Amino acid sequence: MPLPPLRLIILARDESPRIQNAWSELERFLRGESGIEIVAAAVTDDLDLGVLQADLVIVLGGDGAILRACRQMGTRQLPILGVNLGRLGFLADLSPQEFRDHFPQIRARELQVVEHLMFECTLLRRDGASETHLGLNEAAVHSAGSLRMLDVALEIDGERVTTYSCDGLIISTPVGSTAHSLSAGGPILRQDLQAFVITPICPHTLTHRPVVDRAGCVYRLSLPEVPPGAMLVIDGQVRRPLEAGDAVEIRRAAVTFKLAKVPGFSYYATLHRKLGWGGQPQSRNG
């Protein structure tokens, strides 16, 4: 029995010529292929991804475009396949040509869908107000433009850990470990681990080093004093100003990020390629 048409949502929500030219070429390619159905395409306006039914979401751009797509999907995460038109692209792994070359596998649903940790970040205001955001990479508190250090008190599951005097503090998922946390000296975690990384930014005490702990914990950052300009930043895209007495809580989200991978594109091969590590990983027979 033949497979039903593969239902696709295309996200090319970037008006730059680079993205729009790539979408024009991809659209011509897909229109000439059988066995697929383009449910919707976002080119100039966002889609309500919470109501659309599809088998796969194709995101054109870089990792930032994928982060945006995750937030748009909210509690109804669909598998995402990224076509890299950005720079490093740890999540958007395929080039446009590789997407076309591997399209028979994609259409035949010969994909590995790996679920990755996401988090909920709740900003607790001193006056009792709160707001919660879904994230994939990291939540970070920054001294930002204040040019002053922050004192950030960390609790894990209600137990006091320490107070960091630093330019900022990052709580990162394994997927986000190759983003801001890595640039701040944090470790690279395998993407499918269930853990968070706590990475201080320029800590005043040199003995403060990155810490890895379980994804099932609740991480609370308290800020008794906050210099003007300090910010909470989620995935580099959601920004909220911080005030003295505010607190931030990070916990595992109920949903997961579903990353679709074409066979043969491994995580360590991506690290070798993107980070410029010497050579390429070799098989035992290679």
Are 239 and 153 found together in one domain?
A: yes
Q: Is 167 a catalytic residue?
A: no
Are 70 and 41 found together in one domain?
A: yes
Residue 234's CATH number: 2.60.200.30
Are 159 and 131 found together in one domain?
A: yes
Residue 187 DSSP code: P
Are 80 and 153 found together in one domain?
A: no
Closest CA to 80 of 110, 124, 113: 113
Are 86 and 102 found together in one domain?
A: yes
Are 122 and 235 found together in one domain?
A: yes
Q: Is residue 281 part of a domain?
A: no
For 131-186, the pLDDT digits (tens) are 999 999 999 999 987 778 899 999 999 999 999 999 999 999 999 999 999 999 99
Q: Is residue 26 part of a domain?
A: yes
CB-based burial label for 110 (10 Å; 0-12, 13-18, 19+)? exposed
Are 244 and 215 found together in one domain?
A: yes
Give the chain's residues under pLDDT 50: 286
Are 126 and 247 found together in one domain?
A: yes
Residue 216 DSSP code: T
Are 138 and 32 found together in one domain?
A: no
> Which residues make Cβ contacts (< 8 Å) with residue 195, sequence separation at least 6?
117, 174, 189, 212, 213, 214, 215
Are 180 and 70 found together in one domain?
A: no
Q: Which domain holds residue 39?
A: 6-111+262-275
Could you say which of 14, 55, 63, 93 is catalytic? 63
Are 164 and 239 found together in one domain?
A: yes
The count of structural domains within the chain is: 2
Residue 10's CATH number: 3.40.50.10330
Are 106 and 123 found together in one domain?
A: no
